[in-house]
Copies of this chain bind each other. A is one copy, B any other.
Amino acid sequence: MAKEKSDLLKITKQEEDYSRWYLDIVDRAKLAEESGVRGCMIIRPEGFAIWENMQQTLDKMFKDTGHSNAYFPLFIPVSYFSKEAKHVSGFAKECAVVTHHRLTTNESGEIVVDPEAELGEPLVVRPTSETIIWSAYRKWIQSYRDLPILLNQWVNVCRWELRTRPFLRTTEFLWQEGHTAHATFAEAEAESQQMLEVYKTFVQDYLAIPVLAGRKTENEKFPGAEHTYTIETMTQDKRAIQVATSHNLGTTFAKAFDVTYLSAEGTQEYPFATSWGITTRLIGTLIMVHSDNQGFVCPPRIAPLQVVGVPIFRKEAEKENVLAKFQELQAEFKTLDKFSFKVDERENLSPGFKFNDWELKGIPLRMEMGPRDLQNGNVVLVRRDTGEKIIVPQSELKSKIPELLEDIQTSLFQKAQEFQGQNTYSVSTYEEFKTGIETKPGFYLVYFDGSPEDEETIQEETKATGRCIPLGETSKPGKCFYTGKQTNQQVVFARAY
């Protein structure tokens, strides 16, 4: 255990090395680890339990909005993949390609790819599934009566990445991808906005992550989309991170796959598509937004474990009494079924070690109880977010704990929202922007009317990209910070993950 105490609990301080701090939390909270397979991570049980909670909540929201789940193949023939020009150019450079279907033993006795087993047509491991799904929709969509189609799938996808970082950018990751088909552009538009709203509600209400909702600029759109909607948040090093996207794909894929339907009026029409997704990146985002130098901080509503009990005792008799009381409370909480609770009964570990360990793992509330507390009928509750210690009579726990969990949830959201507000700036000239982004990183709201080429130049010069055109802001006209032209369009620029 000596090793555990000294090394395993140590975390680089955020202010010393933000990037190292992030990796330390992923590692020490046992959320994920390198697999030895280039760019692929292992999501450990502690991390996967968070993903399961996310899936469960979101899946219900998808079903409540009329969607069903299905499953489409992992492998996409290159010929399908190539049917939509923008799509293939957006994904061809970063995909895993299956070319053979057998291994064999060579003359030296080594296991190698069997050259005799080359596929007639190579298969791409899906980086996203528009092409394989629309090739199926071609059969499914004949008449206006077949529309809308509202499907989703929870799957693994693969995008070959050169520089990877657990959760944030990995070659293989998990996600859900919704793919819908509609009779009109307006319906597809409404669907893509509805799903953005679903994501926003989920992320704000469950993950306590405040987001900026907007539309992507031309440069940042999904390859083949008419509109891409996004929600973005701010990390503690004041960069932007994309949380979810929702695309109105127009008739791009219907045309590429020759999908038409007979309208009620008897004409042949192209259906309209949307797609929308959220990934395991969300777990990385949770770290980036809420965690601190003590470790991971998990918002109560998404935490696999909400309250952990740590018994304190010196003598064997004390131990028995304390554990008995904890078991009694555990039984009571179980009947109540309002929060999850577990007692840390591990032997040979000091309370201090356990405190650190559960802080590291981000459990929202810790309950300490020793012989004196037992005598007084109290426990000590310690908030993970603030470290605040609260002495609570045991009789009040069933109301006090849910109350505190809700307060932690709200506080995390507010703290992140204030931080985002404090680091959001408005500037009116490119010079101001260049100095600002260098000296005071954050979100920069500017009037922008430049071309995609202008946006590229800005990125080259400042490493900042147009994150989104915020929704719902009815802005008065102003002067483009880059071209000087009059425009109504405001864009948030930031350096991003």
Residue ranges of A at the interface with B (Cβ–Cβ < 8 Å): 33, 35-37, 40-45, 48-49, 51-52, 68-78, 80-82, 88, 92-104, 110-113, 122-125, 132, 135-136, 139, 151, 155-156, 158, 160, 171-172, 174
Contacts and interface: CB of A to CB of B under 8 A. Distances in A.
Given A37-B132, A82-B111, A93-B102, 5 more contacts: A35-B73, A35-B135, A48-B69, A92-B102, A99-B100
A160 B119 CA distance: 11
B136 A74 contact: no
Contacts of A74: 40, 125, 156, 158, 172
A158 B73 CA distance: 11
B92 A96 contact: no
B40 A75 contact: yes
Nearest to A49: B68
A103 B87 CA distance: 13
A99 B102 contact: no
A136 B32 CA distance: 11
Contacts of A76: 37
A98 B125 contact: yes
Copies of this polypeptide in the complex: 2
Contacts of A78: 103, 111-113
Contact of A37 (B33, B75, B97, B155): B75
A71 B157 CA distance: 13
A45 B70 contact: yes
Given A70-B48, A71-B43, A74-B158, A36 B135 contact: yes
A104 B92 contact: yes
A68 B48 CA distance: 9
B42 A136 contact: yes
A113 B52 CA distance: 36
Most buried by B among A80, A103, A110, A155: A103
Nearest to A91: B103
- Kindly list the 3 A-B residue pairs having the minimum CB-CB distance in the complex, ordered from nearest: A40-B73, A45-B68, A92-B103
Given A98-B97, A155-B156, A160-B102, A111 B81 contact: yes
A52 B152 CA distance: 13
A132 B42 CA distance: 10
